[in-house]
Homo-oligomer: A and B are copies of this chain.
Amino acid sequence: MQIQDKLTMPIGVFDSGVGGLTVAREIMRQLPCENVVYFGDTARVPYGSKSKETIIRFSKQIIRFLKTKHVKAIVIACNTASALALDTVQTETDVPVIGVIVPGARAAVNETENKKIGVVGTEATIRSETYTKIIKSQLPDASVIGKPCPLFVPLVEEGFAKHSITEQVIDIYLSDMKNTDIDTMILGCTHYPLLRSKIMAYLGERVHIVNPAYETAMDLKDILNREGIANESGHPGTYEFYVSDAAEKFTKFASSILPYDASSTQCVNIEEY
């Protein structure tokens, strides 16, 4: 393939569902010329309560699908899949694959002053201790406290993000964390930025909140430049959206997050890949 062709090939971005749109949005903002193909695994969402073997299998299927779209790089916009499957799929894929955890961990390492960092995420992400391992590889004497918050995703998805019930659930999950002296907290699940203001209000000003989406887009930019495959055409990128279930419902949610039209979202049977 000519290098010129490669420049215009799209970035593949995938997530268990709609949450990864917050990462896709950041990529669209920071790399406005890149074309993007987004896949949301809405037929099998959520990933956060499932096993490593299953998440690896799902991720491999999705990467095979994205390869049919001739992607030049892949972003795993789901914390759970980044935590459980990135290492495995990276070794089996011939284009660069990045997750959200390495960028998120680095942002926290840059941010913390007292080297005490909190991480919230799904059960699978926290149990994997991937954030802890990556933070400690960069800052060996860091202390990392992880806390799974499994009700946050359904509360956001059911429209309770602004409700007082969500404040009570935040108190139940984060009261122990609040009593520590962490100065930095990673929102280690793509749904959690939608609870950012409530979490900030609960933890107080002394805790800096890190959302890995921005750092992930910056990492992607670096990789595209390093590989010489950034699209610098000057033309705005085009976006395609695919899901494994209920395209209409996805489109509705996507329209509330993205300033772009996702009305042509197509449904694919991901199990065939």
Contacts and interface: CB of A to CB of B under 8 A. Distances in A.
A224 interface: no
A51 B154 contact: no
A53 B157 CA distance: 21
A49 B250 CA distance: 12
Interface in A236-273: 244-246, 249, 269, 271
A43 interface: yes
A51 B165 contact: no
Given A165-B168, A169-B165, A50 B151 contact: no
Given A44-B44, A154-B154, A155-B151, A50 B165 contact: no
A244 B58 CA distance: 12
B165 A158 contact: no
Contact of A43 (B54, B157, B244, B245): B54
A54 B246 contact: yes
Nearest to A166: B165
A15 B160 CA distance: 27
Contacts of A172: 165
Contacts of A157: 49, 150
A50 B246 contact: yes
Contact of A246 (B51, B151, B160, B246): B51
A42 interface: yes
Contacts of A53: 245
A160 to B, nearest CB: 7
Nearest to A149: B158
Contacts of A43: 44, 50, 54
Interface string A180-224: 000000000000000000000000000000000000000000000
Closest 3 CB pairs of A and B: A154-B154, A51-B246, A271-B271
